[in-house]
Amino acid sequence: MSQSSERYSKALFDLAQEKMSLEELHQSMSGIGKFIQESADFRRFLGNPLLSYDQKSSLLKALFEKKVPDLFLQFLLFIAYKGRLSGLADMIESFDALYLQSTRQLKALITTAQVTEDTEKTYIGQCLNDKFKAHVLPQWTIDKSLIGGFKILVKDKMYDYSFRNQLENYLQKTIQPV
C-alpha cells in the first residue's frame, strides 16, 4: 500500500470523524470495496489513464450519487481530479484499518478442518475477544487438509492449532538426521 493511499484515507477518516458520519462512510466504503473486487469493468475504469476527469466524474456521479454519503462522493471526485482513482482499493483498505482500530475491532480469519458448531464459534470468538482485548470479527473457512483443529490469522500473525501442524512438528523433532 502506498503512502499516498494512506494519507488520503487518513484525511477522509478525520473528516468523517469531524462530521460524525464514520459508521455510514465505513459501510459505503466496504460496499465499494466489494464492488471493486467483483467488477473487472470497474477495476479497469479506476485504472484507465485515457479517460478525462469529466468522463470519470460523470460516471462516478451516475454510479454513486444519492447512493453513498456526499462526503464519499466528494472524495471520489477529488481523487479522480488528482488522478488517484487507481489507488481506491488501497485507500479503502487503509480506511478500514483506521476504522477497526478506532472502534477497537479486529478481523480474524479462522480456518477449521470441518464445519464448526455455533457454540464452538461463540466460545472461540469470546476467547479471542479476551486475548486481544478487542471485539474480534471472525471470518470462518474450512480446509480439510488440517485434519483437525484450527488456524487463526489475526493482525498478520498465524496461530496454528491444527493436527496437521502438530504432526509435522512431532515428525521434525523425532525424525532428525544423524
* CATH number of domain containing 41: 1.10.520.20
CB 128 within 8 A of CB 138: yes
Distance separating alpha carbons of residues 3 and 30, to the nearest angstrom: 20
Q: What is the pLDDT of residue 171?
A: 87
Distance separating alpha carbons of residues 112 and 152, to the nearest angstrom: 9
* pTM metric for this prediction: 0.80
Report the largest interatomic distance among the alpha carbons of the chain, rounded to a whole angstrom: 71
Can you give the residue range of the structural domain that contains 121? 105-174
CB 129 within 8 A of CB 136: yes
Q: Report how many domains make up the chain.
A: 2
Same domain, yes or no, for 75 and 121? no
Distance separating alpha carbons of residues 27 and 92, to the nearest angstrom: 11
Residues β-bridged to residue 159: 152
Choosing from 101, 116, 139, the residue where a domain stops is 101
Distance separating alpha carbons of residues 21 and 19, to the nearest angstrom: 5
C-alpha cell, 161: 492449532
| Number of other CB atoms surrounding residue 155 within 10 Å | 9
Distance separating alpha carbons of residues 84 and 106, to the nearest angstrom: 28
**Secondary element (H or E) of residue 25:** helix 22-38
DSSP-assigned letter for residue 117: P
Same domain, yes or no, for 95 and 23? yes
Choosing from 44, 72, 101, the residue where a domain stops is 101
Same domain, yes or no, for 66 and 144? no
Q: Which of 6, 35, 7 is nearest to 94 (CA)?
A: 6
Choosing from 101, 119, 150, the residue where a domain stops is 101
**Secondary element (H or E) of residue 86:** none
| Number of other CB atoms surrounding residue 57 within 10 Å | 17
Q: What is the pLDDT along the chain (178 residues), one digit of tens a residue?
A: 689 999 999 999 999 999 988 999 999 999 999 999 999 999 999 999 999 999 999 999 999 999 999 999 999 999 999 999 999 999 999 999 999 999 999 999 999 999 999 999 999 999 999 999 999 999 999 999 998 989 999 988 999 999 999 988 888 888 866 5
